[in-house]
Amino acid sequence: MKVLHRVADVRAACDEARRAGASVGLVPTMGALHEGHLSLVSAARAEHDLVVLSVFVNPLQFGAREDLDAYPRDLDADAALAAAAGVDIVFAPGVDDMYPTGRPLTTVHVAELTAGLCGAARPTHFDGVTTVCAKLFAIVGACHAYFGRKDYQQWRVVRRLAHDLDLPVEVVGCPLVREPDGLAMSSRNRYLTPAERDAATVLSRVLRAVVAAVDAGVRDPAAVRDLVARAVAEEPLVALEYCEIRRSDDLAPVAELDGELLVALAAHVGPPGGRTTRLIDNCTLVVGPGGVTADLGTIYGSAG
C-alpha cells in the first residue's frame, strides 16, 4: 500500500492503473477510521482492482464555530487500518495540496437537497462536501465512489452532484454500521466521555421505538417527531437539534407516513452550556399496504 500526499502523484497512479485495465474504487473519508469506514473499503475491494481511500479533513465543509481544529487526525493509525483492509492507495493531501490558491473561487452547490436536515444548521457544509467530492472524483477518476448511508443526506447530495454534472462515477450508498449497543459509529464518538457515550445510545434506541410505533400503525409525522423529542428530553446530556421524516429519494417533507421514508435526527451530546458533540443518526422505512419494513443498518460484528 502507498500513502500519497500530492494530487499529481495520485492522478498519475490512478491513470497508470486504468491504462493497465484496472477499475478504480474510491472511498472518501476524513480519517480517524473506524469499522464504518472499513465497511466501505470492503465494498470497494469486492468490486475493484485498485482501491483508493482518501483521508482529508476538508476545511471547506466546517462552519466557523465547528470542530475543524479539534477533529481527530492520526494518519499512521489510519494507514495501518487501511493496509489491513486491503486499500492500495491512501491519498492524504494537505490543505495546500487540495487548495493551493487558498479558498477556491469555484465551488459546487446542490440546491434543494441541501436546504433542510443538516443543511439548516450547517448552511455552508454541503457546498464544502460537494466541492471536495468533485475534486476527488476528478483526481482519482474512480468508476465507483463509496459513501455510508449514516450520512444519508450527504449520500443523496453527492449522488445528485454526479448525476447533474454527468460525472463518470457511480455514487454507491453502503449500510450504516453501529456499535454493538446500537450507537452509530462516528469519528466524533471519540469526543464522548463515558457518561456521554452512554447517553448517546438514546439516538438509536429512539429510532427503534419509531420503527415499533410505525409498525403499530402510527402514520402522523408529528407524532413520530413528538415521540423522539420526548425520549431524547429524558437524557439530560442530549439535546435534539432536529428529527425529520422525509421521502428517502428526494428528501421532500411528507404529510403522512407512506412509501419510502427517511427518519433522520441530529443531536448535541454533552452538558447543557458546556462542550458538546454533534451526532447524527437515521433509519429508513418502507410503509406500504403489505406492512412496514425498516433498515436501521448493521451492528458491527453481527451477521445482519
Angle at 283 between CA 134 and CA 28, to 5 degrees: 25
Closest CB to ligand AMP among residues 36, 141: 36
Out of 34, 37, 109, 163, the active site residue is 37
Closest CB to ligand AMP among residues 71, 221: 71
Give me the half-sphere count of Cα atoms (radius 13 Å) on the Cβ side of residue 240. Answer: 21
Closest CB to ligand AMP among residues 6, 190: 190
Q: How far is CA 48 from CA 42, 44, 51, 144, 232, in A?
A: 10, 6, 6, 9, 42
Q: Contact at 8 Å (CB) between 287 and 261?
A: yes
Q: Contact at 8 Å (CB) between 134 and 165?
A: yes
Q: Contact at 8 Å (CB) between 134 and 145?
A: no
Q: Is 37 a catalytic residue?
A: yes
- The distance of closest approach from Cβ of residue 182 to ligand AMP in the complex, given in angstroms and rounded to an integer, is 11
Q: In the complex, which residue's CB is closest to ligand AMP?
A: 148
Beta bridge partners of 38: none
Q: Interface residues with ligand AMP (CB under 6 A)?
A: 29-30, 36-37, 39-40, 147-148, 150-151, 174, 176-177, 184-187
Q: Rounded CA gap, 291 and 261, in Å?
A: 13
Closest CB to ligand AMP among residues 129, 243: 129
Kindly list the catalytic residues.
37
